[in-house]
């Protein structure tokens, strides 16, 4: 079981009332973008809902908070996404790259650790199976190993442990049958029958270029910040004899209106823009 400890003091009125805009991607095909590692925009957004310091007067705190919010609100961010290159393959007959949506959205967002039953945002609980419009962006493994453990009955087992820091981006909960991305080809098969093939995109290019790009392709997401800007939680999994593993995951989540996913080469040259398909 996970137990989440959430430290967050924000107003949630905007979160509950916000609807997605039809804003277009500001990035341009063929242009060069500068993308940031997700922890950089997260740290900036976290300042916009920071708590009052004990040595800070209330007026000074209110001025600082208002300035931080004004700085980040509706500002465009481009955060890099850790890629899954197994989702990229070349179609030689049609001279095009076929890129699965999983190539840029395989990392879990762990949103259920933020939106727990008693979450500080006071929004409906999310389960790990619920569909949301959001992305996992980065996982940093902090540590891993094993140790010998004994329970109260004297049973001894080896417990594997790991700890991670996870960065993700949340827009909103998805409505029924609502797709996230405007893709070039739809998913097919049945997920429950293990013949499911996710949808994706095509990028036309010669084989020589595709061969090089497969090893250096990059992905990013463009979004504008919205309240409550950022939230953090830590989830713990305790070991049992049947499942002798423990973990600690720190989830750092940003809130934003997602406009598009971006595919680039190693230098950041935009090869494809994938807009969101929801409103």
| 9-31 pLDDT, tens digit each | 333 333 333 333 345 899 999 99
Q: Which residue is associated with the tokens 């001279």?
A: 95
Has residue 116 got a pLDDT over 90? no
Has residue 138 got a pLDDT over 90? yes
Q: Per-residue pLDDT tens for 173-206? A: 998 889 999 999 999 988 777 888 899 999 999 9
At residue 241 the predicted structure's pLDDT band, cuts being 50, 70 and 90, is: low
| 57 CB-near residues (< 8 Å, 6+ apart) | none
Has residue 88 got a pLDDT over 90? yes
The C-alpha angle 28, 34, 38, rounded to 5 degrees, equals: 115
**Which pLDDT score is estimated for 163?**
86
Backbone phi and psi for residue 113, each to the nearest 5 degrees, phi listed first = -80, -25
Q: Per-residue pLDDT tens for 32-87? A: 999 999 999 999 999 888 888 899 999 999 999 899 899 898 789 999 999 998 89
Residue closest to 261 by CA, chosen among 101, 39, 56: 101
**Which pLDDT score is estimated for 23?**
59
**Which pLDDT score is estimated for 239?**
66
Over residues 220-228, the mean pLDDT reads 94
**Which pLDDT score is estimated for 247?**
73
Token pair of 140 as six digits: 């940093």
At residue 4 the predicted structure's pLDDT band, cuts being 50, 70 and 90, is: very low
**Which pLDDT score is estimated for 207?**
97
Q: Per-residue pLDDT tens for 152-176? A: 667 777 777 778 899 999 999 998 8
Token pair of 268 as six digits: 């950041």
Beta-bridge partner residues of 250:
165, 234
Over residues 262-268, the mean pLDDT reads 97
Q: Mean pLDDT score of the chain, rounded to an integer?
A: 85
């Amino acid at each position: 079981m996970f137990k989440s400890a959430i430290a967050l003091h924000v107003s949630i009125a905007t979160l509950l009332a916000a609807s997605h805009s039809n804003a277009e991607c500001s990035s341009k095909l063929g242009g060069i973008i500068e993308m940031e590692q997700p922890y950089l925009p997260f740290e900036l957004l976290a300042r916009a809902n920071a708590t009052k310091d004990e040595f800070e007067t209330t007026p000074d705190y209110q001025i600082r908070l208002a300035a931080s919010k004004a700085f980040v609100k509706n500002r465009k961010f481009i955060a890099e996404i850790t890629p899954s290159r197994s989702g990229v393959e070349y179609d030689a007959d049609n001279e095009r790259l076929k890129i699965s949506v999983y190539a840029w959205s395989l990392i879990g967002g762990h949103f259920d650790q933020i939106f727990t039953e008693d979450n500080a945002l006071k929004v409906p609980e999310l389960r790990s199976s619920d569909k949301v419009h959001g992305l996992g962006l980065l996982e940093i493994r902090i540590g891993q190993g094993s140790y010998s453990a004994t329970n109260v009955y004297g049973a001894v087992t080896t417990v594997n442990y790991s700890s991670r820091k996870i960065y993700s981006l949340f827009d909103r909960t998805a409505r029924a049958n609502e797709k996230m991305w405007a893709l070039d080809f739809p998913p097919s098969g049945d997920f429950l029958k293990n013949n499911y093939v996710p949808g994706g995109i095509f990028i036309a290019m010669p084989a020589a270029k595709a061969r090089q790009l497969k090893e250096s392709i990059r992905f990013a997401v463009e979004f504008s910040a919205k309240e409550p800007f950022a939230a953090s939680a830590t989830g713990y999994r305790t070991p049992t004899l049947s499942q002798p593993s423990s973990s600690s995951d720190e989830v750092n989540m940003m809130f934003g209106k997602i406009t598009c996913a971006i595919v680039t080469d190693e230098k950041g040259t935009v090869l494809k823009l994938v807009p969101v398909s929801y409103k």
